Amino acid sequence: MAKRATQEVNAGSMADIAFLLLIFYLVTTTMDSDFGITRKLPPIQEEEEEKEVDINERNIFIVLINRNNQLAVEGELFDINELKEATKEFIVNPLNNPNLSDRKEVEIPFFGVVEISKGVVSLQNDRSTEYGKYIEVQNELVAAYNELRNELSIKQFGLPYDDLDTDRQKAIKTYYPLTISEAEPRNIGGK
């Protein structure tokens, strides 16, 4: 009996198929590249006339980042590691310092009538400021508000802020509203 030759599989087109599959996966796969800061922008004003806002200088905490990525707070060079504590002190103003934020009376659920800060943190940066430095400063400012909210939550309700129900979180946010004003980048300068 004669031996039968085994059939070979034509593998010539396998490379083409593998290449097409690779192209298909590259085209259909989505990459998560969400970088930046999550902020809810204010709604568009329907009124066309601009309202002049009268803010006392004492209630503005000016934070600048120059083109050399140097941090200045209230006109003085500042270390990033001290920014969070300085921001908290400005907002709370525990000793009623006339150079720090003023207070206003507000009625807040779960708290009653309390005095809260009128302070606004004004963050300004140079057009040449590195994005990483800007994010680092932004993180410190937001961390100051988060720590204040968490401390108040534990003091008032005995729970961390993240563990509170929505109504209590809203009351804490009213007590310490996130008031960071970000100016359009400009040429600030530096040494």
Residue 144 inside a domain? The answer is: yes
Question: Minimum mean pLDDT among 13-27, 38-52, 59-73: which range?
Answer: 38-52
Residue 22 inside a domain? The answer is: no
Render pLDDT for 71-93 as a digit per residue (tens, 0 to 9).
Answer: 999 989 999 999 999 999 999 99
Instruction: Name the residue range of residue 103's domain.
Output: 57-182
Residue 17 inside a domain? The answer is: no
Number of domains in the chain: 1
Residue 36 inside a domain? The answer is: no
Alpha carbon distances (Å) from 104 to 117, 172, 175: 6, 16, 11
Residue 100 inside a domain? The answer is: yes
Q: pLDDT above 70 covers what percent of the chain?
A: 84
Residue 89 inside a domain? The answer is: yes
Residue 101 inside a domain? The answer is: yes
Render pLDDT for 27-55 as a digit per residue (tens, 0 to 9).
Answer: 888 876 666 666 655 566 566 555 555 66
Residue 46 inside a domain? The answer is: no
